[in-house]
Amino acid sequence: MLTLTPTQNKYLPYVLAVALFMQILDATILNTALPQMALALDESPLKMQWAVISYALTLAIFIPISGFLADKYGTRRVFLSAIVVFCVGSLLCAMASTLNFLVASRVIQGIGGAMMTPVGRLILVKSYPRNQLLTVMNFAVIPALVAPLVGPLLGGYLVQYASWHWIFLINIPMGVVGFVIGKKLIPALFGDKQSLDWVGFGLFALGACALTLAVEMGSKVGHGYNALLLAAASIGFLLAYVWHAKRHVAPLFSLTLFNVPTFRIGITGNLSTRIGISAVPFLLPLLLQVVFEYTPSQAGWLLAPIAVGALGIKPFVSKIIQRYSYRVVLVYNTLILGLLIIVLGQFSDAAQWPWMIPVLIVIGVCNSIQFSAMNTITIGDLQGAQTSSGNSLMAVNQQMAIGLGIAFGAALLNLLRERFQVDTLPAFQVTYWILGGFTILSGLGFLRLKPEDGRGLY
């Protein structure tokens, strides 16, 4: 175990805290700003999804190589480089004059983000003894709980009273602070220089990109054939990865992970249930601003109850799971989430906002329970080297689900409006019905859990 100086021991967690805050703030601040950004970029507000999808997809693709780069080039060099890349990407986003330029800049941001948080966690794991790690990690992830509350509000006020450029420029001073304290505090840690499965990485990346593009392409009139081709290509790449992983000594993600029943159920449930859940924070600000004509700051305030609910239930999640079991909690919680998404589709007037607040608070509560339970059961039974690989795959899976969820929600909305000529409000309502129904059906997968599964985790 590395011996830290007293200064490092005390302040090193702040480095990860700053990195986490930057990354999660950037992921949440954009949603309320999209309609105003669309006006500035001369785009439809309902076609801005790639500004969000590109970032999540880039995280999903590049997270698996963050550990390899840290082991080879050192945690200090990789982490500081990641902050620089993230800030350069932020600056380029602020300079964007077209949606295509913005999407390309978000990819650069995503590359930095994919290295920043995983390497930050790795630094803490390697720097502190086991008996201090939980305390250190709990402190470092506090910004991850606060950022979803601050992000929508800050995004709304910045675009309303300053300009949308500031939702990206705000990352620069935070990045400078992170770089300065990181340069002084981060130790240069190296690991075993193992070779990376570049073939597996390429096949996985191509499969993920093709799948997301297929969902997006399916919503466009006259592009059904292209969508089918992309879907077929995605399946082909992923099957090729499976064939490759069975023969590679150290594949990007070992297929033996799926021999663990709780991992197999948890990872598929993580993907399927997050698709409907992830579409809500993207679609709701659009509904509020485009249809109900709320200001960006008002839309930001109406997103805040989701974060409030998530924060409020956090101390009680483990007690709820302990009392009812992972199986019962995940089955019923997913059902409730699906019904709540459908309820959001019933609102048809801006004056109904007081009724939205309790619904959104409960959505936040259920989200917090869902994510905690799914994440824990997914990796809880993994042993030894499986834990690191499984944790990495779970992080990738989560970002893939966010990208697919936003693409799926946007595709449904555009399909209803453009191909079936449905008016905007009914199109939103039908989209919520479909997303809610999909979420309810996805929860049936958790019935495969046994009542005793995860009992040793609490």
User: Are 162 and 311 part of one and the same domain?
Assistant: no
User: Are 429 and 403 part of one and the same domain?
Assistant: yes
Give residue 286's identity as a one-letter amino acid code.
Answer: L
User: Are 244 and 259 part of one and the same domain?
Assistant: no
Residues 37-63 have pLDDT tens digits of 999 999 989 889 999 999 999 999 999
Question: What CATH number corresponds to the domain at position 323?
Answer: 1.20.1250.20
What is the distance between the alpha carbons of residues 124 and 253, in angstroms, rounded to a whole number?
Answer: 23
Question: How many Cα atoms sit within 13 Å of 250 on the Cβ side?
Answer: 9
Q: Running DSSP on this structure, what letter comes out for residue 443?
A: G
More confident residue, 145 or 375: 375
User: Are 279 and 246 part of one and the same domain?
Assistant: no
What is the distance between the alpha carbons of residues 155 and 285, in angstroms, rounded to a whole number?
Answer: 11
Do residues 80 and 188 make contact, with C-beta atoms less than 8 angstroms apart? no
Residues 129-163 have pLDDT tens digits of 766 766 777 677 777 778 888 899 999 999 999 99
User: Are 341 and 415 part of one and the same domain?
Assistant: yes
For residue 247, being part of any structural domain is answered with yes
Confidence band of 308 (pLDDT split at 50, 70, 90):
very high
For residue 2, being part of any structural domain is answered with no
Q: What are phi and psi of 409, to 5 degrees?
A: -65, -45
Cα dihedral sign, 47-368-429-344: negative
Residue 388 has pLDDT above 80, yes or no: no
For residue 21, being part of any structural domain is answered with yes
User: Are 49 and 181 part of one and the same domain?
Assistant: yes
User: Are 260 and 390 part of one and the same domain?
Assistant: yes
User: Are 259 and 245 part of one and the same domain?
Assistant: no
User: Are 73 and 47 part of one and the same domain?
Assistant: yes
pLDDT at 7: 84
Q: What six digits make up the tokens of 28?
A: 């949440």
- To which residue do tokens 């801005």 refer? 48
Q: Running DSSP on this structure, what letter comes out for residue 446?
A: G
Where helices occur in 218-316 by DSSP H, the ranges are: 224-247, 261-286, 296-313
Q: Is 345 helix (H, G, I), strand (E, B) or coil?
A: coil
User: Are 227 and 258 part of one and the same domain?
Assistant: no
State the average pLDDT over residues 430-449.
96
State the average pLDDT over residues 320-348.
95
For residue 400, being part of any structural domain is answered with yes
Domain assignment of residue 217, given as a range: 197-251
Residue 272 has pLDDT above 90, yes or no: yes
pLDDT at 458: 63
Number of domains within the chain: 3
What is the distance between the alpha carbons of residues 173 and 169, in angstroms, rounded to a whole number?
Answer: 8
- What secondary structure does DSSP assign to 288-301, as a single string? IIIIS---HHHHHH
Cα dihedral sign, 327-329-334-335: positive
Q: Which of 71-75, 162-166, 386-390 has the lowest mean pLDDT?
A: 386-390
Give the domain-ending residue among 214, 235, 251: 251
Give residue 166's identity as a one-letter amino acid code.
Answer: W
Q: What six digits make up the tokens of 162?
A: 């300053």
For residue 127, being part of any structural domain is answered with yes
Give the domain-ending residue among 207, 222, 251: 251
Give the domain-ending residue among 192, 219, 242: 192
For residue 1, being part of any structural domain is answered with no
State the average pLDDT over residues 234-248.
96
Q: What six digits make up the tokens of 364?
A: 């936040």
Cα dihedral sign, 101-301-304-424: negative
What is the distance between the alpha carbons of residues 138 and 148, in angstroms, rounded to a whole number?
Answer: 17
pLDDT at 20: 83
Residue 66 has pLDDT above 60, yes or no: yes
Residue 442 has pLDDT above 80, yes or no: yes
pLDDT at 133: 67
User: Are 351 and 261 part of one and the same domain?
Assistant: yes
User: Buried b vs exposed e over 277-294: b needs ≥16 C-beta within 10 Å?
Assistant: bbbbbbbbbbbbbbbbeb
User: Are 201 and 343 part of one and the same domain?
Assistant: no
Residue 1 has pLDDT above 60, yes or no: no
pLDDT at 193: 63
Residues 79-130 have pLDDT tens digits of 999 999 999 999 999 999 999 999 999 999 999 999 998 888 888 878 877 6
Q: What six digits make up the tokens of 398?
A: 């989560």
Q: Running DSSP on this structure, what letter comes out for residue 4?
A: P
Residues 169-220 have pLDDT tens digits of 999 999 999 899 889 888 888 877 678 899 999 999 999 999 999 998 887 7
Angle formed by the axes of helices 99-127 and 75-95, nearest 10°: 160
Where helices occur in 380-423 by DSSP H, the ranges are: 385-414
When the pLDDT of each residue in the chain is averaged and rounded to a whole number, the result is 90
For residue 273, being part of any structural domain is answered with yes
For residue 246, being part of any structural domain is answered with yes
